[in-house]
Amino acid sequence: MKINPRQMEKMMRQMGMSQQPLEAEEVIIKKSDGGEIVISNPDVQKVKMMGQESFQITGDIEERESSEFTDEDVEMVAEQAGVSKEEALKALQEFGDIAEAILHLKKD
């Protein structure tokens, strides 16, 4: 059964609902466990219903682990310890501290 978009909009208004598209390049949801859900090429709709606002998001979904260290942290450790960025990031993740990561990497 196909519903005419105008009819759908009229029905939504009668029920006190409204929908508004939002322009977005990327949507990032930060999870409580430190990970992230990244939605690329999103289609975002802001929906208002009975005084509440919610968002409907569709797109290309990718889950990734979040790093608490910035790119600048990784670069600094790599430069100070004379190692690659990959080694620096691994040490940061293992030791959880910039100074400890540098000291550990300089020992090796």
Domain extent, residue 55, equals 15-65
The whole model's pTM is what?
0.55
Q: Are 85 and 74 in contact (CB under 8 A)?
A: yes
Total domains in the fold of the chain: 2
pLDDT at position 80 is: 94
As averages over each run of 10 residues, the pLDDT of the chain (108 residues) reads 84 89 93 85 94 95 80 92 92 89 88
pLDDT at position 67 is: 65
For residues 61 and 78, membership in a common domain is answered with no
Give the Cβ contact number of residue 91 at 10 Å.
Answer: 24
For residues 81 and 40, membership in a common domain is answered with no
Q: What is the CATH number of the domain that holds 36?
A: 2.20.70.30
pLDDT at position 74 is: 92
For residues 54 and 80, membership in a common domain is answered with no
pLDDT at position 108 is: 65
Say if 45 falls within a structural domain: yes
Give 64-67 contacts, CB < 8 A, sequence gap 24+. 64/35, 64/36, 64/38, 65/34, 65/35, 65/36, 66/30, 66/31, 66/34, 66/35, 66/36, 67/92, 67/93
N-terminal to C-terminal alpha carbon distance within the chain = 68
Question: What pairs with residue 23 in β-bridges?
Answer: none
